[in-house]
Amino acid sequence: MEEKYQTYLTFSLGKENFAINVEHVEKILEVQPVTEVPKAPEYMLGVFNLRGEVIPLVDTRIKFGMEKTEVTSSTCVLVITIENENEKLKLGAMVDAVNEVVKYNNADLIPLPTVGKQNKAEFLHGVLKLNDRFVLLVNADKIFSVDEIIELRAENFELNE
């Protein structure tokens, strides 16, 4: 079994709320000047300079199947490390806002219905209810290592308030 308590960082994209395991998160930065890479998928905004390293920057909203990000004063970049096929990748994920750090117990998780329209359960660790709102716990290793756009919204999982 997993450890009893997990620590997650919650962030929002539009009206949706997500959370990522803090183990993935290395830094939180303000919006960075980015160099576009020609012919890259739309959600790959390009690359930026992180203290001498060249790091890809993802528009998380597009990646999660939403409209592209409009940069505001609360927009920020999560520098995260993911592991894919034994390879460690570092990338920046642009999000609308970073909210809080939450600890939860496995018992707090709401089970995902298995009969959703598309089965995207593999991209989530689970769902949590915080202040009456659903928070999707994203499986960063999975979602940021596949090339496709993955639509992730609470309604897609037939979660109702």
Residues that bind other proteins (CB under 8 A): 33, 35-40, 44, 46-49, 51-56, 58, 84, 87, 89-91
Residue 122, helix vs strand vs coil: helix
* Least distance (Å) between residue 36 CB and other proteins: 7
Nearer to other proteins, 36 or 100 (CB): 36
54 vs 101, beta carbon nearer other proteins? 54
CA angle 46, 50, 52 (to 5 degrees): 110
Buried b (16+ CB within 10 A) or exposed e, 130-140: beeebbbbbbb
Rounded to the nearest 10°, the torsion over CA 11, 13, 18, 20 is -60
Q: In the complex with other proteins, which residue's Cβ is closer, 12 or 81?
A: 81
Q: Could you tell me the smallest distance in angstroms from the CB atom of residue 49 to other proteins?
A: 5
